[in-house]
Amino acid sequence: MALIVQKFGGSSVANAERVRNVASRVVETMQAGNQVVVVVSAQGDTTDDLIEKANEINTNASKREMDMLLAAGEEISIALLAMAIEKIGASVISLTGWQAGFKTNAVPGNARIDRIDTERVQSELDKKNIVIVAGFQGLDKYDNITTLGRGGSDTSAVALAAALGADRCEIYTDVDGVYTADPRICPNAKKLDEITYDEMLELASLGANVLHNRSVEMAKKYNVRLEVKSSFEKVPGTIVKEVTNVEKMLIRGVTRDNDVARIAIIGLEDTPGIAFKVFSALAKYGINVDMILQSVGRNGTKDIAFTVTKECLQKTLEVLENLKDTLTYEEVTHRDDLSKVSIVGAGMTNNPGVAAKMFEALFDADINIHMISTSEIKVSTLINVANAEKAVRVIHDKFNI
Ligand code: ADP
Ligand code: ASP
Ligand code: MG
């Protein structure tokens, strides 16, 4: 008898018909002789709708109360799915994240799972129940409800699979696997049979939201066999694992991430310690900086541009404003109509032509690049958001993946 953790995303449980579809798939897995634990997300756009509701009341609500509100979305789903399974006649119980033992750190809105006390889930499995668990949520050490960051239900599922020592973790979603680019943007994208944890982590971190990046990190750490599959069609999905049999492709995928804002500090005095001053001040406020560009100094001044997530933009501007007394600069400008478009692939190490080929694709499409950053496994470019989808398509075509 295998123990399988199955996770169903928001679109997979968006309405009554889809909840019934999930119920019958889960019961089928159980009837095939398996123990089943199911993690579910909030239905359809519920999380976005709840955020909108909060904004109608207070655009500056505390993260603690936001978590209290958002956790409600997943709680609706677990009860509805359990009811649908009861109707089929199978034994089932739904559990909130904290009933299922998810203990997190005390970082509301973006909590990390510290541990899962699995006794309750285990005892329900021993009673031959299908166990339905609310994704995306846990409890901190002060007994506050926390959420794991947008898309976090994937991480709930992988963490639970690791804690229970499950045989595998299946992530069911509205596409039938991981593609070489978002299939909704790029019709030529190809489904990957297998992908390594490292490559998937890079794709997820650079905007391929088919998997929450922390879920991949966790799957790698605990060696959880992950499978991304369609909740609508019964076709093989993509397996995420340590080593793949597939020959190393030069480029594994193309991604875009529109959650980016660029800040430029113009006319900074060109003396040692300036970058340290700027970035240590930002780090003090927990602001994560991504791409950084520093211009060649001229007439004793230089410019520094960098990117942060949109959520951090206001705070970043405030921090820089507060530095005015200790830092000499002409002005700070910012933009949030940008997108980071990246190529990912372990095969690009020692392939100097790769970046140039990507830039050529953008040039051919008359797309201007504002910033560039590279690593052994990726090349990222910052471009206007209006061009992002076209950029994904032309780069994908150029590499002929
Ligand atoms: P769920 O609600 O099931 O968690 P998500 O919307 O979070 O689903 O993730 C699935 C979506 O991820 C797909 O609908 C697809 O548009 C998007 N996506 C982005 N990049 C990729 C990729 N490389 N392969 C597959 N899907 C991708
Ligand atoms: N419901 C949450 C969200 O929309 C978590 C998830 O879907 O994974 O971000
Ligand atoms: Mg998701």
Mean pLDDT over 260-269 rounds to 96
Tell me the C-alpha distance between 7 and 197, whole Å.
18
Task: Identify the band that residue 247 occupies on the pLDDT scale cut at 50, 70 and 90.
Answer: low
Q: Which helix (H) or strand (E) holds 237?
A: none
- Predicted confidence (pLDDT) at residue 306 exceeds the cutoff of 80: yes
Q: Which atom of ligand 2 is nearest to the CA of 48?
A: 4
Q: What is the pTM of this model?
A: 0.93
Q: Are 285 and 278 in contact (CB under 8 A)?
A: no
**What span, in angstroms and rounded, lies between the C-alpha atoms of 267 and 262?**
16
Report the amino acid identity of residue 153. S
Percent of the chain whose predicted confidence (pLDDT) is above 70: 99
Mean pLDDT of 351-378: 92
pLDDT(299) > 90? no
Mutate to test the pocket of ligand 2, among 46, 51, 133, 153 (most ligand atoms within 8 A of CB): 153
Residue 350 has pLDDT above 80, yes or no: no
Distance 213 CA to ligand 2 centre (A): 13
Q: Is there a contact between 23 and 189 (Cβ–Cβ < 8 Å)?
A: no
5-46 per-position pLDDT tens digit: 999 999 999 999 999 999 999 999 999 999 999 999 999 999
223 backbone dihedrals φ, ψ, rounded to 5°: 55, 50
> How far is residue 9's CA from residue 153's CA, in Å, rounded to a whole number?
8
Instruction: Summarize the confidence of residues 246-251 as an average pLDDT.
Output: 71
User: What is the band of 248 on the pLDDT scale with cuts at 50, 70, 90?
Assistant: low
Atom of ligand 2 nearest to the CA of 212: 8
The average confidence (pLDDT) of the chain is 95
pLDDT band at 209 (very low <50, low <70, confident <90, very high): very high
Please name the residue whose Cα sits nearest to atom 6 of ligand 1: 210
Tell me what the mean pLDDT of segment 273-301 comes to.
92
Contact assessment for residue 38 and residue 7, using Cβ atoms and an 8 Å cutoff: yes
Sheet holding 378-384, edge to edge: 253-257, 338-344, 378-384, 371-374
Asked whether residue 246 carries a pLDDT value surpassing 90, the answer given is no
Answer yes or no: is the C-beta of 173 below 6 A from any ligand 1 atom. Answer: yes
Task: Compute the average pLDDT of residues 62-82.
Answer: 98
Determine the residue type at 13: V
Mean pLDDT of 271-300: 92
pLDDT mean over 72-95? 98
Q: What is the mean pLDDT of residues 111-131?
A: 98
**19 Cα to the center of ligand 2, angstroms:** 16
138 vs 270: which has the higher pLDDT: 138
- Euclidean distance between CA atoms 213 and 205, whole angstroms: 5
Is the Cβ–Cβ distance between 125 and 107 less than 8 Å? no
State if residue 41 touches ligand 1 by the CB under 6 angstroms criterion: yes
pLDDT at 349 over 80: no
Does the beta carbon of 151 lie inside 6 Å of ligand 1?
A: yes
Q: What is the pLDDT of residue 401?
A: 85
46-57 helix and 63-88 helix, angle to the nearest 10 degrees: 140
pLDDT for residue 285 is more than 80? yes
Contact 347, 198 (CB under 8 A): no
Q: State how far the Cα of 96 lies from the Cα of 130, in Å rounded to an integer.
A: 14
Tell me how long the chain is. 401
Task: Please state the rounded mean pLDDT for residues 322-326.
Answer: 89
